[in-house]
A and B are shown apart, each in its own frame.
Chain A
Amino acid sequence: MNFLKNHKKFIIPIVSVLCLFMISFSLNRAEPTFFESGIGYILTPVQEFNTSVIDWITSKFNALSNINEIESENEKLKEEVYSLQMEIDRLKLVEAENKKLSEVLKIDQKYSDYPKVGARIIAKDTSNWYDVFLIDKGSNDGIKKNMVVIASGGLVGKVSETGFNYAKVVSIIDDTDSVGAKSLRTDDIGFVRGDFENRGMCKMEYVDNDAEIMAGDEIVTSHLSDIYPPGITIGYVKDIKTDENTLTKCALISPTVDFKHLETVLVITENFKKNIK
């Protein structure tokens, strides 16, 4: 401790250089270290608990406010309305659950050939720049790096890191990864990546200048993709521009998945990454 106190002035520069080293080493790291996944192992259950608490509070709050409204309106029929409201709330919950489940079922039928596992989102990025999130399934449940994550609307992203009981998912609206894609109607091929300058949107780059792609076309993952299976919906074309630098077309795509209100996702537990030696 005395040594640290005597050399106080050197601590900040040394740690700064250490940070720079770590940044350069982590530019292409494959797996989280033991230290990282250890911290994750401890913290993830707490985050999981927190997210359930938020859900619980929101559901209770909604139920309570409903009851209060009816109480003020019908003083006399309080008891009756109370019981009826309880019933309605219960049915509403069942209805919502039914809707959600049938949505999941629909997507299940669409991409039925791939084995999947459902997961809940437990924590989201603390910065305002990226849309990285954690799910409550990890290597313990057979999740591996580069597995594809989908939701009821379509493609969400891919798993970029796995801990024992959590996994980190990078979404397609982040410009950290690109997906091989094609337009379903015209079979034009391009690359889809997130667009930081239009938050929540994607852009499809390097589309051939003669391509007959137009607004409203459905964009799906192509067979040329390295880790993504073909045929998963990404989104719909909103606008098309010509890139002055490369003289190719660039399409703005609005993703079908609602990233703001995403709660549950499905992970395709099959690794499509081809092993080329």
Chain B
Amino acid sequence: MRYFVTAVIIILNFIIQSTFLHSIEIINVIPNTGIIIVVSFAFMRGEYEGSAVGFAIGILQDIFFGQYIGMNALLSMLTGYFCGKFYVDFFTENFLIPLLMTSVSTFVYGFVFYVLNILLFGYTDVLYFLSNIILPETAYTSLFSVFLYKLFYIINEKLEKRETVKRKLF
């Protein structure tokens, strides 16, 4: 059940991100809902599930729109891994920490992506990309994560309840 729900969330997110979200873009930037899912799952379920979800989301983006296969997969897998490190330190009921983590992850992800994909093509104007793409994306994604984390939290809660019921049966 958990695998099925996670897979549905990942695929649904990809479809929405590539179609619906483009009609609500602000200053040419769409929120990176993929990274919200990675951070949420990493924060609620730990580093290994986080990196698995990150890998799946990244590879899906690479297959359809990526310049090189594996670039997004690697970055979002590592995002999931490092965010999952906080799994032991915080309660999942805390809604502020995931918001903060999403902001930081989106910023770092965007910056590393810029360095690997754009800077190496000879575009050295870091400030332009910071103010036009990375920072607006971070702000917009953080705004979305407030609502989306709550949604994923509820879904996770339901799934965990279901699992404990099953365990009690035997």
Contact = CB atoms under 8 A, between A and B. Distances in A.
A125 interface: yes
B71 A23 contact: yes
B81 interface: yes
A175 B69 contact: no
Interface string B72-83: 111001100100
Interface string A17-31: 011111101110100
Given A47-B18, A122-B19, A128-B28, A175 B137 contact: no
B164 interface: no
B23 interface: yes
Contacts of A11: 48, 51
Interface string A118-134: 00001111111110101
B48 A47 contact: no
Nearest to A16: B74
A247 interface: no
Nearest to A22: B70
A272 interface: no
B63 interface: yes
Nearest to A124: B22
Interface in A111-160: 122-130, 132, 134
Nearest to A174: B67
A196 B73 contact: no
Nearest to B122: A175
B94 to A, nearest CB: 25
A75 interface: no
A1 interface: no
B170 interface: no
A26 B72 CA distance: 13
Contacts of B32: 126-128
A15 B77 contact: yes
B30 A128 contact: yes
Contacts, number: 116
Interface band, chain A: 35 or more
B64 interface: yes
A29 B67 CA distance: 10
Contacts of B60: 39
A26 B121 CA distance: 17
Nearest to A27: B68
Contact of A128 (B48, B72, B137): B137
A168 B66 CA distance: 10
B63 A40 contact: yes
A50 B65 contact: no
Contacts of A176: 67
Interface in A14-57: 15-16, 18-23, 25-27, 29, 32, 36, 39-40, 43, 46-47, 50-51, 54
Interface in B118-158: 118, 121, 123, 125, 128-129, 132-133, 137
A50 B77 contact: no
Given A23-B71, A40-B63, A129 B15 contact: no
Nearest to A25: B69
B6 interface: no
Given A12-B51, A129-B118, A23 B15 contact: no
B108 interface: no
User: What 4 A-B pairs are tightest by C-beta distance, nearest first?
Assistant: A22-B70, A19-B74, A123-B18, A19-B70
Interface of B: 11, 14-20, 22-23, 28-30, 32, 34, 48, 51, 55, 60-61, 63-65, 67-74, 77-78, 81, 113-114, 117-118, 121, 123, 125, 128-129, 132-133, 137
Given A19-B71, A122-B19, 17 more contacts: A12-B51, A15-B51, A15-B77, A20-B70, A29-B69, A43-B14, A43-B15, A50-B19, A123-B15, A125-B18, A126-B17, A128-B28, A129-B113, A130-B65, A130-B67, A176-B67, A196-B121
